[in-house]
Structure 1
Amino acid sequence: MPLYEIFSHSDRFHYRANIFSLATCFLILCTILTFLPPFLFAYYAGGFWVKEASYSEQPRVNYSAKYIVIVDNDDSTRNRFFASSYLDINTVFRDVLITGTNTFDAYDTNRDGVTDQFYITIQVLFGSTTTVVSLQNLNVWIIFQYELRARQYILMETMALVNLFPPDNMVLSNNPNVTVLGDLVLKQRQPIQSSGSDSTYNQSIINLDNLFTTSSIDLNPVLDEYFTRNYYTSYEPQYVRWRRGATSGTNILTINIIVNTKQQAIRFIPGFWQEFKWGWIQYICALLPFILVFNRIKEFVFQSQLVRTSVEFPYHRHKS
């Protein structure tokens, strides 16, 4: 019956040398050149250490029922109107204050347990029809409580700023009705962390210390501070429609704002283990060819005795 080779292995030669010898220096040099260049190659080739990544999350948003409405008027006698849900701010701007009401509904359209749409209705009453109002510009601030949980826990007060320009033929005496549909989108000046919590911006956006004047409505300092935050929300309208309402004894402006809070990509700084998980794979891929090449070099140098060593030969079987 013929026999077949089913396994084989090479004989092992042992090379010995003094620790302070040329052979030892050569082995140390080969070890350094085997492990260090692959690391430098993987690191400087880019992508070895992930500085930033992104993930997808559905934010948890709650409408705080707080709002500010600023109406610019063409009339020279009274060129601005103001309405809000803030009692303190209403006191500051009492000279230009008008009455406003606010109602809203929250919906979970995809039934995943997280609210993803708000239908907010704000009605602003300008008084009797004798009040001359020619709409020039309309600004609405809607305040939300915004929460992220998947990576770093972030809780903050954010805002949807709606800026509208009525049509030229829109008259307030017709009780106009405007409907705006858009998305509440998170804006990041820097990525969030991969873990921990941050409640730096969990405070009122409206800083009363900047609102001491009663001669004019100057909310620019509030906006400047808000839009320079590391992360904030912005309202991106997709649809705007103006309609005329029924004529009545008062001038009423109805503002319908639909806010969608959909899932979105969020930038974050990966943690150590996530970076290590991708980094070592790139390092190993670059290391394997170096191991193969330098093992061949060491085998050639020691077999050829290019450096002086003491050779211990493997065991030899006697022929039967």
Structure 2
Amino acid sequence: MALYELFSHPAERGYRAGLCSKAALFLLLAAVLTYIPPLLVAYRSHGFWLKRSSYEEQPTVRFLHQVLLVALLQPEQGGFLAWSTFPAFNRLQGDRLRVPLVSTREEDRNQDGKADVLHFNLELPLQSTEHVLGVQLLLTFTYQLHRMSTFVMQSMAFVQSSCAVPGSQLYVNGDLRLQQRQPLRYSGLDVRYNVSVINGTSPFAQDFDLTRIMAAYQERNVTTILSDPNPIWLVGRAAEAPFVINAVIRYPVEVISYQPGFWEMIKFAWVQYVSILLIFLWVFGRIKIFVFQNQVVTTIPVPAMSQGDLHKEHLS
């Protein structure tokens, strides 16, 4: 009858020596060379510590119904017309103040409880002799993130367009995109930029200057911009017809950059270290077998024992 190997287990051979022997010194050196170099290799290969990570999130954006408008006219017509939702700004304009008709609508297209797009329409009444050559429009929003840290800020979208030919309508269609100069925190509450973009209660004209507003806004490490607005300047306005600004601003899903926490950094570093350590364990395991089997260092061999015999010896 043919015989088949149904089961097998390894036999272990021991090697004994004193703690102050060359064999013990060799094992200590082998242990150092097994565990330390993988750490150095992983660290020197760059990226051992995860300093920045990212995730996707649909922000919670709401239009604050704060508007600042400057319409540039031909020089002989007075230079410009202006209006805002801030009474202090309007009082400073005098005869240049022109109140438009504004309508807005935010739409939640995927029914997830978060607005996805803003439809903004502004009709600026003009006299038959007034012609608009350029527009500067500032809209403010509240912008919130919740998945990692709770980040809350007030942000803005700025639209600017001009043409040598007087226009009848400006059409804008773009995305309100997040810009980061530094990653966000991985947890906690971050409200450092939850302040108004425009100091609407200030009686000073300099606080409503667009140059100063933009300069202060760009000092932030986290902002929003109107990306790819693709402005379309339409001409051919009829007499007494208003100048129309029609804007579609979407709130897209963003890739948020953040600083990982301690345990996330350890998890990332541990995977890199162990992947290199396994190679060193295999190599030095073979080296130790060769050294002791060939008595490169002096030891006293112990007869080979099966795993069952080893277990009995340990119990005794």
- The TM-score with structure 1 as length reference comes to 0.85
Q: Deviation per CA, 1:14-38: give whole Å up to 9, x if none.
A: 2333333332221111111111112
Residue of structure 2 in register with 1:170 after alignment? 166
Residue of structure 1 in register with 2:298 after alignment? 308
**Alignment CA distance shift 1:209-1:19 (3 Å):** farther
The runs of 5 or more residues in structure 1 that have no matched partner are none
> What amino acid sits opposite 2:178 in the alignment?
L
Note the 1:57-206 alignment, pairs <5 A. 57-75=57-75, 78-94=78-94, 96-126=96-126, 128-129=127-128, 133-166=130-163, 168-170=164-166, 176-206=168-198
Q: Deviation per CA, 1:70-119: give whole Å up to 9, x if none.
A: 12333157323321001222234446433234220111223333211111
SS across alignment from 1:5: coil
**Alignment CA distance shift 1:71-1:211 (3 Å):** farther
TM-fit CA distance, 1:211: 7.1
TM-fit CA distance, 1:134: 4.2
> What amino acid sits opposite 1:74 in the alignment?
Q
CA distance in 2, matches of 1:274, 1:57: 19
Asked if structure 2 preserves the Cα contact closer than 8 Å seen for 1:210 and 1:222, the reply is: no
**Alignment CA distance shift 1:2-1:46 (3 Å):** same
Q: 1:278 aligns with which of 237, 246, 268?
A: 268
CA distance in 2, matches of 1:34, 1:53: 30
Asked if structure 2 preserves the Cα contact closer than 8 Å seen for 1:69 and 1:83, the reply is: yes
Corresponding residue pairs, total: 306
TM-fit CA distance, 1:300: 1.8
CA distance in 1, matches of 2:238, 2:162: 21
CA distance in 1, matches of 2:231, 2:96: 30
Asked if structure 2 preserves the Cα contact closer than 8 Å seen for 1:59 and 1:261, the reply is: yes
Residue of structure 1 in register with 2:37 after alignment? 37
Asked if structure 1 preserves the Cα contact closer than 8 Å seen for 2:89 and 2:205, the reply is: no
Asked if structure 2 preserves the Cα contact closer than 8 Å seen for 1:84 and 1:100, the reply is: no
- The TM-score with structure 2 as length reference comes to 0.86
Asked if structure 1 preserves the Cα contact closer than 8 Å seen for 2:88 and 2:203, the reply is: no
SS across alignment from 1:8: coil
Percent identity between the two aligned chains: 33
Q: Deviation per CA, 1:275-317: give whole Å up to 9, x if none.
A: 3333333322211221111111112222233223343333599
2:247 pairs with 1:257:
yes
**Alignment CA distance shift 1:226-1:302 (3 Å):** same
